[in-house]
Amino acid sequence: MLLYVFALLIGMIAGLRAMTAPAAAAWAARLGWLPLAGYPLAWLGGLIPVLVLSALAALELIADQHPKTPSRKVPHQFIARVLTGAFAGAALMMPGTHWLRGMVIGAVGAVIGTFVGADFRGRLAARFGKDKPAAIIEDVVAVVGAFAIFFLAKTAI
């Protein structure tokens, strides 16, 4: 049951930062926190996927600071978050052979994370009087949260 919560949470992370969830999944597989050997996503722990997904996540963190970056709620941004949330949720639950459930739960988490994250960031930006501090706080929550989820999930897998 705990894995369902972790799948929802990693989906919510994807709602905050689309590429952070799959990058964290790749690192978790690489570090042995997510045992994917023998499963279709075993490639995720390879050096190239880790580097590529990490670079994409870093680029997203940089792009998010730009004032012309579109809202996370526009269709292409929203769909990307749902897909990466589904991917990360499936990866997290693959060792338990419930990857399809993880995919659905991760996608639901991404929807929640997208809307709750946008609202929270808007409120935080209003308190600061500018967006940048709110964006940085959201970045930290996404990155630290993603790695914490996979680290904690390793005992439940």
From CA 24, how far away is CA 121, in angstroms rounded?
A: 22
Indicate the average pLDDT of the chain: 96
Backbone angles phi, psi at 68, to 5 degrees: -95, 5
* Residue pLDDT, tens place only, 29-50: 999 999 999 999 999 999 999 9
53/49 Cα distance (integer angstroms):
6
**3-class state of residue 47 by DSSP:** helix
Q: In whole angstroms, what is the distance from residue 1 CA to residue 75 CA?
A: 32
The single-letter DSSP state of residue 157 is -
Model-wide pTM > 0.85: yes
Digits of tens for pLDDT over the chain (157 positions)?
899 999 999 999 999 999 999 999 999 999 999 999 999 999 999 999 999 999 999 999 999 888 888 999 999 999 999 999 999 999 999 998 899 999 999 999 999 999 999 999 999 999 999 999 999 999 999 999 999 999 999 988 8
CB 25 within 8 A of CB 44: yes
